[in-house]
Structure formats: structure tokens, C-alpha cells
Amino acid sequence: MRRQPLRQLVVATLVLATSWAWAQGSLELSAGIHRIRAEVVNTPESRAEGLMYRRSLPANYGMLFVFDRTAQHCMWMRNTLIPLSVAFIDENGRIINIEEMLPQTENNHCAAKPAKFALEMSANWFNSRGLAGGIQLNGIDKAPAAR
């Protein structure tokens, strides 16, 4: 009988900790009417880990990769358990191209032109909202610099 409140407390603590972690290094972006809460990764270590080992991604949440230089960056899905879409973005916040990525693969998915950012979202997130290359993302100017 006494275990139920303890279990509820543990679950509530985990939910709050996850929400806090998202909020600490996150940025609000928008694409037209669509709001995005993006966890920001801007160090070599955090970019290398990305969304590896995660089993889910909350609705309208993603991960913004801030690169140290503008280049034709590529992404892959080693140790990534969920299917994702990646939008490669120029220094002005305009989407260059979007690629769909299958979990636990090592295929390269690359920017069609030099990109400063990449935004990973749940699979088909961009397409299901009619977002494609050329769309402007607002709020990207608030992203911290790469370290």
C-alpha cells in the first residue's frame, strides 16, 4: 500500500527532471505557425552523441546542432533508436534540404549546400507540415555559438 505514493513520486521526479533537462539547453524555434522546442548541442561531444540511445522524442521537440563552421555537414544514425528527419539550415535560418533517416544505420545524410545548423525532429515531421527547402526558421539567431 505504501509503495504507490513512492512510485508516483519517482515518476513525477523523472518527468520533472526530463522537462528540466530539455528546458536548460533548449531554444524555441518556429516555422510559420509551427512551434519547435529544440535541445541545443553546440560542442563536439554533444554533437557526437546527438539523440543516440533515446527511445522517444516529445511532440514538436527536436535537437538543434550548431556547427563551428558552415560546411556540407553530414549526419548518420549509429546507436539512434528512433527514425528522424533532419533539416540542414544555413546561417540565416533558411532550410536547405531535409533528409529522412532510418534508425541504427550508418548511411550519410548530407546538406545539399553549406549549412551552419541541422535540426533533427521525429520522422516525417517536416513533410507532414508541408515544410520543405527554402522555408525560414525563426529564432535560430538566438542559438548559442558553437564551442
C-alpha cell at 35: 512551434
Number of folded domains that form the chain: 1
Q: What is the CATH number of the domain that holds 112?
A: 2.60.120.1140
DSSP-derived secondary structure letter, 92: T
Return the residue matching grid coordinates 531535409: 98
Does some domain include residue 94?
yes
Q: What is the span of the domain harbouring residue 93?
A: 26-142
Q: Which pLDDT value is given to residue 6?
A: 55
Q: What is the pLDDT of residues 16-68, one digit of tens each?
A: 444 434 445 899 999 999 999 999 999 999 999 999 999 999 999 999 999 99
Residue 88 lies in a domain: yes
Stretch 95-106: mean pLDDT? 98
Q: Is 3 or 71 the better-scoring residue by pLDDT?
A: 71
Distance, in Å, from the CA atom of 56 to the CA atom of 54, rounded to the nearest integer, reads 6
Q: Taking all residues of the chain, what is their mean pLDDT, rounded to a whole number? A: 89
Instruction: Assess if residue 11 is contained within a domain.
Output: no
**Contact between 48 and 125 (Cβ < 8 Å):** no
Query: Of all residues in the chain, what percent are helix, strand and coil, respectively (each to 5)?
Result: 25, 35, 40
